[in-house]
Amino acid sequence: QVGGDYYDYLWLPDGRLAVVLADASGKGISAALYMSAVSGELKCSFIAEKSAEAALGRLNRWICDNPDSRFVTMAVAVLDPAAHTATILNAGHFAPLLRRANGSVEEIGEALKGVPLGVLREEAYQETTISLSPGDSLIMFTDGFTDAESSAGERYERERLLKQTKAAAANLEELGRQIVGDARRFMGTHPQYDD
């Protein structure tokens, strides 16, 4: 099965790493094919533009100028390993969660969230930069988590995800396994609802 959820890791010419998580409207093969085209244009935008803001703006204009009645939500985190920072941009997606080494969790960039790509051609996406310390983790997710359903018809919801994000874990890999494992236990034998 395929769908419109997408993630990628893009090494930028200056040594930074862009982590991208996105979701195209629609389902199935058509959403997957559309996201494939968006992925190619995203890579071109990051190569051609000097800032993540400009790259997201260019991608948005491309989507608006090539309409097929779809929009794309996208969260981007540009990691700078030399400066120990992450620059976050958000086009209508769930805000990334920053889990500090002490276990506290906060949403990053929620106040600067723009509209999804493909909605307003001249939307100016704003970035926010955070410092990362040893032991900090950045968690990005799609509605595949929040919309997951149990056999009783209940949704996983963002609050449960936040609770799992705060749970004790030895490292980021273990935290990721715990979150995914909890979502799978919650769903049980119920079919997957989303991509």
pLDDT digits (tens, 9 = 90+) for 8-56: 999 998 999 999 999 988 888 888 888 999 999 999 999 999 899 999 9
CB 92 within 8 A of CB 113: yes
Query: What are residue 106's phi and psi, to 5 degrees?
Result: -140, 150
pLDDT band of residue 146 (cuts 50, 70, 90) is confident
Return the pLDDT at 195.
55
pLDDT tens digit string along 84-104?
999 999 999 999 999 999 989
Return the pLDDT at 193.
60
Measured at the CA of 22, the angle between CA 8 and CA 152, to 5 degrees, comes to 120
Q: Which tokens hold the place of 66?
A: 């090539």
Return the pLDDT at 65.
93
pLDDT tens digit string along 65-90?
987 778 999 999 999 999 999 999 99
CB 78 within 8 A of CB 129: no
Calpha distance 163→175 (Å, rounded): 12
pLDDT tens digit string along 150-194?
888 898 888 899 999 999 888 889 999 999 999 989 988 877 665
pLDDT band of residue 144 (cuts 50, 70, 90) is confident
Calpha distance 122→63 (Å, rounded): 12
